[in-house]
Structure 1
Amino acid sequence: MRTGYPRFFIHLTIQELEQEILSRYGRDGEKTMLFPSRATATRCQQFLLDKEPSLTSNHVRLIALIPSVRGNVLVQETQTVASDLFAVAFPSRCSTLAKQMWQHSGDGVSSRRGEFCLKALREGILCREGDQSLPNQLQARTCKGPRRYQKKEPLTENERGNGNGDFPVQHPSPTIPGHEGKEYSQFVEERFGRNLNADLAAKAKLAIRRRIAGCLTDDAELEKALEVSEDVSGHRVNGLSEGDVYLYPTGMSSIFNTHRILMAHRAEPRKSICFGFPYIDTLKILEKWGPGCLFYGNGSDADLDDLERRLTQGEKYLALFTEFPGNPLLNTPDLKRIRSLADRYDFAVVVDETIGNFINVNTLARADVVVSSLTKVFSGESNVMGGSAVYNPQGRMYQSLQKTLDVEYEDNYWAEDAVFMERNSRDFISRIQRVNVNAEAIADVLSSSPLVKEVYYPKHRPSRIYYDQCRNADGGYGGLLSVTFRHVEEAVVFFDALEVQKGPSLGTNFTLSCPFVILAHYNELDWAAQFGVDADLVRISIGLENTAELRFIFESALNAVGQLGLNKKATI
């Protein structure tokens, strides 16, 4: 594979940018990782120094790159987006360790920011901090950013792209039928012709935050979204507003930084709790940053009994992190009991609702912080990443957490990514409703087949009672499900015969399947198996296709499994 999911495979454009920086500022035998701010880069630097005792600050260097024409009058007047860039340079032998920071934290630069910075660096507009002199050809230039963000310079034929709004790097343009509004035309003109306007990106972020808060519940275009009064309370909990929603460059970044902020909030070091079988990076974050983690891989009532016993004996914890429901077994934790324990024994509750999503369930009422990957169903388009953290204004820790957030939070969500995310998310409510219907139909098809060993879907799990306690009146059971068969070869035949897109991720507008455990836990299959996570499990994310067509696709794949059994009998 040459490329893949961005936190696991560093985007080719970013790799090109890394090489450009190393060719200018690197030393022999060095590699680099790229981050959007000094703080995120410094955390990477510190991680390497902490995990590899032989390294010193001379081995792990910070290279700060800043716009060379900062303060230009034209830039200030037009509010053009600019970007700092921070490279962490380290010995190449530490590449695997550095990659852990990139993957687990989700704080690395996005591909669109990477594209912007690569052009800016090559054109001399982005230079190393402290380098005062500019190239001769730039002395008369009075603008900031790569050519596609500059004024008064005509585009070359190559830069104009194919006439459909596609730049040569082939980022999909954010077109949604029926939504080609004024701000879209403005965005295309600015992105491909002149400047990227910072004000447009700020408005996009505000609209996203209002959708997440629940203040905006229709398929409104940007200007209509901005007409919503700022003091409108959301429906999730009383008093919730867009001010309680914080945006991050990825879903993993929202989890990583929530954990980091909670550690900064409480001076006394405490372990965290990971409750239920989690997405792989959540557990790694809790284990590798801070004093450690108590892991309950089953997320069962018996696990809560054990936790309560520990708490009554005086053990103290920072926070309990859980998914609602879990991935890939779709089990649901007892949030009511968890909330009760947290109130009695003074720890925070952090719920990842990416799979359930806040249209289907309301977990914020029983959490201090709800995190989500906006990359998934909130966007649906598979062309942009993002994450959010929502703080419960009714939570016990809310007031004191706000003081910590004032110090610790920084907005690193790249302007272009925000514009794409805002457009993609306009119809997310109707998309989720369609996905709910489709997924429930496919879960019924699979569960009714005698060939299937187990269907993992919130509606069909013993923990459904806990899901329903938080389910909204018009909410469904989400678009993710998993299936296992009695024999490995049956799972293989089913997966191969299933005529849908194949690959990792979930929440896409199209149906997507993958051998999830093989992909996520290839080096720890025995460890996963002890929590009931079978290596041959097939995970399926249901999309927006016609329901009858999807049923036919899945029934055909099941028929292929049935043929395998008939062929075996004939051979015998």
Structure 2
Amino acid sequence: MSGAGDRIATRAVHAGHDPAAHQGAAVPPTYASATFVASDTETLEALNDGRARGFVYSRVRNPTVFAAEQRLAAVEGAESVVLFASGMAAISGALMPFLRAGDEVVATPDLYGGTARLFAEVLPLQGITIRWADSLAPDAVAAAMTPATKAIYAETPTNPLLRLVDLAALSAVAKRQGALLIVDGTLGGPLNQDPLSLGVDLLVQSVSKYLNGHADVLGGAVAGSRALTRKVRSLQQAAGAIMDPHAAQLLMRGVATYPLRMARHNASGQRIAGWLAGHPKIARVHYPGLSDHPDHALALRQMTGFGGLISFDCGSDAAARRVVDRTRLFGIGASLGGIESLISQPGNTSHHSVQPARRAEMGITPGLVRISVGIEDADDLIADLEQALEQA
């Protein structure tokens, strides 16, 4: 088992699994059972009441899912983690226990399209008002708040423009009013940034992305203090949206190699972004590791690596489509953070559910292309992008 002083690469391999507790199995086992049998009625009642530790029913808690939660908590540096069936379920799970009809959420303007849809179409039906800040600046968030604001929601780095939010400053804004700060940190991940140490109350991750890394798991996580995650877990147990134990076992496998993969994503992402920035057919490159990025100084303070997601503007929708369609190694598809490289236009993938006018307000132009850099050889990926740009 991993110890408290171990570094992230060690925690990623050992946390959440003790071979001695599982017949010496080196690999965490998968408990596929939906029901667990108690030795007697008194024990069952104690388990149901929380007076005894153990398992009764997998919607409430499953051993494999619990082990994955422990491993992820160790990697995130969190007291507790709750795993969900998807990233969007995790976002809902982080918000709903703390909101009631009449409450308000202040959101930063640059968010993943699925989150924007949740805020536009779902939360208002519950009587919850979303107030959009004019920019990512903490002062703009503070200006949007009212006495009814119960939570601030932000994403850093943002998808797909890779903008950053000053988490320490935003935490101070939230604490002045007693509001929760809830942040989606999927694109940064625990190797590149540590949002909880900067004052974030609840950290949301799509574990389908970098943490699992193999495009074979759908899941989400909410990390934070036990006091807050206890409420998140209570609502999850009542409403469902749990992670499947088979997915949890795959997630544990993926997290074990996460530090190695992320180092490769960081190195290749930085190199490819620099190459793209010098290409004459590209109007602009969005990557926080570049010195001309508007949040580069903040990135140097708040992050230790900049990931494998890059977006760049080809000038028009037609040019962007030609580049996307002419790549050879980049798969055309949604999602990110896997070992294989992907390419897409955010307007028809991550933000297809966002109205064109709103996309324009967010800075998502028709010519924007997003690439998720995998773990292939960076020279091969550059050569593929070069031939696609030349043909375009």
User: How far did 1:408 drift?
Assistant: 2.3
2:68 to 197, 208, 226: 208
- Partner residue, 2:184: 352
Which deviations, in whole Å up to 9, do the C-alpha atoms of 1:453-475 show, x marking residues without a partner? 0111122321122333322xxx3
Report the counterpart of residue 151 of structure 2 in structure 1.
319
Give 1:274's match in structure 2, choosing from 107, 116, 124.
107
Kept after mapping to 2: 8 A contact 1:518/1:525: no
1:454 to 1:414, Cα distance in 2 relative to 1, 3 A: same
Q: Aligned pair 1:308/2:138, yes or no?
A: no
Residue of structure 2 equivalent to 1:283? 116
2-side partners of 1:184 and 1:310: how far apart?
49
Instruction: Tell me how far apart the structure 1 counterparts of residues 338 and 166 of structure 2 sit (CA, whole Å).
Output: 28
Residue ranges of structure 1 left out of the alignment (5+ in a row): 1-180, 216-233, 562-572
Displacement of 1:536 in angstroms is: 2.4
2:330 aligned with 1:493: no
Instruction: Report matched runs for 1:15-26 at 5 Å.
Output: none
How far apart are the structure 2 equivalents of 1:470 and 1:536? 29
Other-structure match for 2:348: 518
The 8 Å contact of residues 276 and 323 in structure 1, kept in 2 or not, is answered as: no
Residues 116-127 of structure 1 correspond to what in structure 2 (within 5 A)?
none
Paired amino acid for 1:318: K
* Aligned match of 1:292: 129
386 and 466 in structure 1: CA distance in 2 versus 1, 3 angstrom threshold: same
Q: How far did 1:300 drift? A: 3.3
Local SS of the residue matching 2:143: helix
Name the aligned partner's letter for residue 553 of structure 1: D
For residue 261 of structure 1, what is the aligned residue in structure 2? 97
- Please report the RMSD computed on the Cα atoms of aligned residues, expressed in angstroms: 2.8
CA contact (8 A) 1:517 1:536 kept: no
| Distance in structure 2 (CA, Å) of the matches to 1:185 and 1:262 | 34
Contact 2:314-2:369 at 8 Å conserved across structures = no
How far apart in 1 are the matches of 2:339 and 2:230? 38
**Which residue of 2 is the match for residue 414 of structure 1?**
244
Question: How does 1:325-404 map onto structure 2 within 5 Å?
Answer: 325-365=157-197, 366-391=199-224, 393=225, 399=227, 401=228, 404=231
Query: Is 1:477 equivalent to 2:306 in the alignment?
Result: yes
Structure whose CA Rg is larger: 1
TM-score scaled to structure 1, two decimals?
A: 0.54
2:81 counterpart letter in structure 1:
V
Q: Taking every aligned residue pair, what percent have the same amino acid on both sides? A: 23
After TM superposition, give the deviation of residue 263 of structure 1 in Å: 1.3
Q: Secondary structure at the residue paired with 1:544?
A: coil
**Kept in 1: contact 2:108–2:141 (CA 8 A):** no
Contact kept in structure 2, 1:369 and 1:389, CA below 8 Å: yes
Aligned mates of 2:230, 2:63 — CA distance in 1:
25
Q: Assess, with a 3 A threshold, how the Cα gap between structure 1 residues 407 and 493 changes in structure 2: closer, same or farther.
A: closer
1:276–1:333 Cα contact (<8 Å) kept: no
Q: What are the within-5 Å matches in structure 2 for residues 545-556 of structure 1? A: 545-556=376-387
CA distance in 2, matches of 1:372, 1:250: 9
Residue 150 of structure 1: aligned partner: none
> Alpha-carbon deviation of 1:432?
0.7
Q: Deviations over 1:533-562 (max 9, x none)?
A: 10221111110101221222122222223x
Does the CA contact (< 8 Å) of 1:325 and 1:467 recur in 2?
A: no
Partner of 2:6: none
**Structure 1 position 308, deviation (Å):** 2.7
AA in 2 matched with 1:378: L
Whole-Å separation in 1 of the counterparts to 2:271 and 2:141:
37
Deviation at 1:490, TM superposition (A): 2.4
Separation in 2, partners of 1:345, 1:429: 37
TM-superposed deviation, 1:516? 1.5
SS at match of 1:459: coil
State how far apart, in whole Å, the 2-side matches of 1:310 and 1:423 are: 42
- Unaligned stretches of 5+ in structure 2? 1-23, 37-54
Superposed CA offset, 1:282-329 (max 9, x none)? 123234224210123x6333xx43443354xx5431111111111111
Q: Which has the higher contact order (CA 8 A, sep 6+)?
A: 2
Q: Secondary structure at the match of 2:203?
A: strand
Cα drift, residue 415 of structure 1: 1.8
> In 2, distance between residues paired with 1:523 and 1:320?
21
Asked if 1 retains the 8 angstrom alpha-carbon contact of 2:187 and 2:307, the reply is: yes
Which SS does the other structure have where 1:358 is aligned? helix
Indicate conservation of the 8 Å contact 1:276/1:326, yes or no: no
Shift of 1:434: 0.8
Give secondary structure in 1 for the equivalent of 2:280. coil
Aligned to 1:132: none
Q: Which amino acid aligns with 2:307?
A: G
Any idea what SS the aligned residue of 1:351 has? strand
1:106 matched residue in structure 2: none
Secondary structure at the residue paired with 2:313? strand
Structure-to-structure mapping, 1:45-124, within 5 angstroms: none
Verify the 8 A CA contact 1:506 1:541 in the aligned structure 2.
yes
Give the partner amino acid of 1:353: G
